[in-house]
Amino acid sequence: MTNQDLIQSHSKYIMDTYARFPVAISHGKGATLYDFDGKAYIDFASGIGVNSIGYGNEAWVQAITEQAMKLGHISNLYYSAPAVRLAETLCTRTGMDKVFFANSGAESNEGLIKLARKYSHDKYGPDRGTVVTLMQSFHGRTITTLAATGQDVFHNHFFPFTPGFRHALAGELDSVKAACESDTCAVLIELIQGEGGVLPLEKSFVQEIAALCKERDLLLLIDEVQTGIGRTGTLFAFQQYDIAPDAVSFAKGIAGGLPLGGFLVNEKCGGVLGPGTHATTFGGNPMGAAAAAAVLDILTDEVLAEVVEKGRYIQGKILEMDSPYVAGVRGAGLMLGVTLREIGHRALAEKLNDGGLLALTAGSDTLRFLPPLTITCEEIDAGLAILQSVLQK
């Protein structure tokens, strides 16, 4: 089979909802991928931050294989071991109290929204269900998480959207304060807005939001679907902000490529969603949980410290390239955005693909890198060499 064979059959049977690159991936090892024609690519994308430990990691494959032979699935009406082990690790490494497992980022964020609305309803009664989010945010593709997303382009076609969201300006506390009217139950933010353009929030701004939430008994909800699971150099990005969130969602990188998400809550919120209030068939599925436990075993504090080092190294090298197209670099750990001028982000990403480097776009003018956290220095240098040759043209 060639790339072209696959692409043709794909278009015949699969709906055309993605702006796909003409790249068909067959397999990978480490942070290197191969297409059906045998061409190699350095991966600075990780399937949008999912393949956190790269491809073909032996401990991960073994964990999944062993679990598949024991127990592939069991309903949440019974107890099973992998989810317990994973939950204990997540709580211990974050200081959070409890976890709910889901399947995707959007579903995990829906859980955060339900948590906040129920917390508020239990305590204050109805009419206090509005969630404040930020402009340029991205929280998912369900009708409710699209409504939460603070970008007008997403508020189209699918009317009516779920009511109960208000969007404030990122970086402007007065705007957040004004949005938090008496009907508000929570503030939901990403700490680095990923899809919006790799836009980090100032630490002081986040701390001021945290103080505001505390003062008004609003839940502080952090969407760490992209920033979580080591991506920014700590297990969760909130651990760099000296804040104590009420709830934190995760998904993308948690299981290294299997679909798993969820959210962590503090002690105050641990009992809010009681039996019958929230559920999902596959949540905490043994396969996903076993894979995630293997990922967390690999992402030790030493590996996370290397994520910080690798990120700094890449940022420095890009600035040294002194390309007419590069306006700046931002981000943390291995979540990096290169702001561009005189070239479109999509056009540049396509040129990089041709050169053998997979990269993502974000916002309107940003090239985004989310390489596997375990990428080697050799692979980083190989990727940067491709980037340099394309940026010099």
Ligand X SMILES: *Cc1c(COP(=O)(O)O)cnc(C)c1O
* Site residues, ligand X (CB under 6 A): 104-106, 109, 138-140, 190, 194-195, 223, 225-226, 251-252
DSSP labels for 61-127? HHHHHHHHHH-S---TTS--HHHHHHHHHHHHHH---EEEEESSHHHHHHHHHHHHHHHHHHHH-SS
CB 81 within 8 A of CB 293: no
Retrieve residue 48's tokens: 């949008």
Q: Cα 94–300–282 angle (5° rounding)?
A: 60
Q: How far is the CB of 50 from ligand X (least distance, A)?
A: 9
Q: How far is the CB of 133 from ligand X (least distance, A)?
A: 11
| Closest to ligand X by CB, 140 or 262 | 140
CB 105 within 8 A of CB 137: no
| Closest to ligand X by CB, 193 or 315 | 193
- DSSP conformation class of 135: B
| Closest to ligand X by CB, 57 or 108 | 108
| Closest to ligand X by CB, 64 or 225 | 225
Retrieve residue 103's tokens: 């399947």
Q: Which residue is nearest to ligand X (CB)?
A: 105
Residues 6+ apart with CB under 8 A from 188: 109, 112, 113, 116, 131, 132, 133, 137, 139, 148, 221, 222, 223
| Closest to ligand X by CB, 185 or 370 | 370
Q: In whole angstroms, what is the distance from residue 76 CA to residue 98 CA? A: 16
| Closest to ligand X by CB, 254 or 294 | 254
Q: How far is the CB of 130 from ligand X (least distance, A)?
A: 19
| Closest to ligand X by CB, 168 or 384 | 168
Q: How far is the CB of 118 from ligand X (least distance, A)?
A: 21
Q: How long, in residues, is the chain?
A: 393
Q: How far is the CB of 194 from ligand X (least distance, A)?
A: 4
> Which of 369, 357, 381 lies closest to 32, judged by CA?
357
- Tell me whether residue 26 is exposed, middle or buried, using C-beta atoms within 10 angstroms of its C-beta: 0 to 12, 13 to 18, 19 or more: middle
Q: How far is the CB of 145 from ligand X (least distance, A)?
A: 7
> Given the DSSP bridges, would you call strands 32-35 and 25-29 parallel, antiparallel or unpaired?
antiparallel
Q: How far is the CB of 247 from ligand X (least distance, A)?
A: 14
Q: How many Å separate Cα 358 from the centre of its chain?
A: 18
Q: How far is the CB of 112 from ligand X (least distance, A)?
A: 10
| Closest to ligand X by CB, 198 or 219 | 198
